[in-house]
Amino acid sequence: MNKKNICLISRSLYPIKIEDHSQNMKTFDGWLRFWDNVVIISQCNSNKLHESQYKNVYGILLPLASNRYFNVLYFTLSGLLSIRRQNKQFNFDLYQASDAGGAILALLASRLYKKKFLFEVQGDIFDYPDKVGGKVHSRLVKFFSELIVKKADYVRIVSPFLLQPLDRFNVPREKVFLVPPRCDSGLFNGNNVSKEKWDIFNKSKYNLLFVGNLLIAKGVDILLDAFSLIVNECPDICLIMVGDGQEKNNIIAQAKKLNIQSNVVLLGRVDYQMIPSLMHYSDQLILPSIEEGVGRVLLEAMAMRLPIVASNVGGIPLLIDDKKEGLLFEVGDKQALKESVLFLLNNPQFTEEMIDKAYTKFLCNYEYEVSMEIFLKMYKTIFAN
């Protein structure tokens, strides 16, 4: 019997050892219930190519170029050479891409080797905000996203809100699969919490948590401005920011300018296994994104029964009903963000009822096995076609 092999193409950064990406390895383990081999063509923060293997998951990690436009060109050309080499061994059945830059390579490979191409749309790339990367970058993202989604053989979306732009581009519904994101409750539960409370949580009475890349798209500048308003009314509070990114130095400068640097802790990147402990000892998760698909961190917070305050954008309001599973505020509304945080701190009974509803919704819709079954059903349908 012929083996079934998939090539996943993504420009996100992977650790040099593929198994160290514990967040994605859980997903790949699920994929191996259907695929015999999973090969990832991606990038790493290095000046040379790295290859690694864990079980039947293979990582081909290309060097990262500093200029983002040159990086797309370099990734595409060097990626084609890598795929040519890997295809001799695996003869891929499907090329799958999870971002617009990677999708260019996946589309070219699928046409070159006459195989199917699946494009995963995980964010609002069709109406990409100018603020995120500037007007030129925004227009390029929107142009290529529309072009690629029309050329793709199949499209996977993470939220129903993405159906509207696909309809706008006349993408046939029969080639679109709605597969929600997932969170592993085997990791995100109270059993995986450090028994000793970290020192950073003893600094203040209340602790707000942000987990994500430090990017304009995540609204980190909005968060700092709103947090300064919160500190004015509730001085005994700390903002813990987990993640790294190009806005790190701006965040440090902004916190200093707002005179809240003593209330802000930048932890940088942490081991994914530590996120449940960080969530357990925090009082609220804040996600102030200006564009967002769904935001896996929201599912993780729901699983850990952590109250959520998030912006009303993209797929977030389809995941969280305002005042039911979390509190939502309009993008950029710093006053509303402040008021939402303080309301939850001052209304513990409402907050407890809210996290009960969020946890129930998570179990019914976004728990790992629930979502993975939908994922595998999509692959079976594609393979049958």
pLDDT tens digit string along 300-316?
999 999 999 999 998 89
Report pLDDT for 61.
95
pLDDT band at 137 (very low <50, low <70, confident <90, very high): low
Percent of the chain residues past pLDDT 70, beyond the cut: 96
DSSP 61-129: EEEPPSSHHHHHHHHHHHHHHHHHHHHHHH--SEEEESSHHHHHHHHHHHHHTT-EEEEEE-S-GGG--
Q: Which amino acid appears at position 191 of this protein?
A: N
Supply the DSSP symbol for 34: T
Q: Please identify which residue in the block is written with the tokens 């227009």.
A: 139
Instruction: Look at 15 and 360; give whichever has higher pLDDT.
Output: 360
Sequence-ordered alpha helix ranges (H) in 113-209: 130-133, 135-151, 163-168
Kindly state whether residues 256 and 312 are assigned to the same domain. yes
Per-residue pLDDT at 346 exceeds 90: yes
- Give the distance from CA 107 to its chain's centroid: 22
Query: Whole-angstrom Cα distance, residue 25 to residue 8?
Result: 13
Per-residue pLDDT at 195 exceeds 90: no
Report pLDDT for 41.
96
Report pLDDT for 318.
85
Kindly state whether residues 212 and 323 are assigned to the same domain. yes
Report pLDDT for 13.
84
Kindly state whether residues 215 and 361 are assigned to the same domain. yes
Report pLDDT for 133.
63
Kindly state whether residues 199 and 110 are assigned to the same domain. no
Per-residue pLDDT at 281 exceeds 90: yes
Q: Rounded to 5 degrees, what are φ and ψ at 45?
A: -80, 70
Report pLDDT for 126.
64
Range of the domain at 101: 5-182+368-384
Whole-structure pTM value: 0.85
Tens-digit pLDDT profile for residues 75-101: 999 999 999 999 999 999 999 998 877
CA distances to 11, 42, 262, 264 from 80, in Å: 14, 12, 48, 44
Per-residue pLDDT at 64 exceeds 70: yes
Q: Beta partners for 176?
A: 155
Q: How many CB atoms lie within 10 A of CB 289?
A: 25
List the structure tokens of 228.
């300064």
Q: What rounded mean pLDDT belongs to the chain?
A: 91
Kindly state whether residues 167 and 207 are assigned to the same domain. no
Report pLDDT for 1.
56
pLDDT band at 69 (very low <50, low <70, confident <90, very high): confident
Kindly state whether residues 201 and 348 are assigned to the same domain. yes
Report pLDDT for 164.
87
- Range of weakest confidence among 63-67, 187-191, 236-240: 63-67
Query: Whole-angstrom Cα distance, residue 115 to residue 132?
Result: 34
DSSP 263-320: GEEEEES--GGGHHHHHHT-SEEEE--SS-S--HHHHHHHHTT--EEEES-TTHHHHS
Q: What's 309's domain CATH number?
A: 3.40.50.2000
**Average pLDDT, stretch 158-171?**
88
Instruction: Please state the domain count of the chain.
Output: 2
Per-residue pLDDT at 239 exceeds 70: yes
Report pLDDT for 340.
98
Query: Whole-angstrom Cα distance, residue 183 to residue 367?
Result: 5
**Average pLDDT, stretch 122-128?**
69
Kindly state whether residues 43 and 172 are assigned to the same domain. yes
Kindly state whether residues 199 and 324 are assigned to the same domain. yes
Kindly state whether residues 161 and 270 are assigned to the same domain. no
Percent of the chain residues past pLDDT 90, beyond the cut: 67
Kindly state whether residues 170 and 290 are assigned to the same domain. no
pLDDT band at 45 (very low <50, low <70, confident <90, very high): confident
Per-residue pLDDT at 329 exceeds 90: yes
Question: Is 94:115 a contact under the CB 8 Å cutoff?
Answer: yes
Kindly state whether residues 136 and 249 are assigned to the same domain. no
Kindly state whether residues 149 and 195 are assigned to the same domain. no
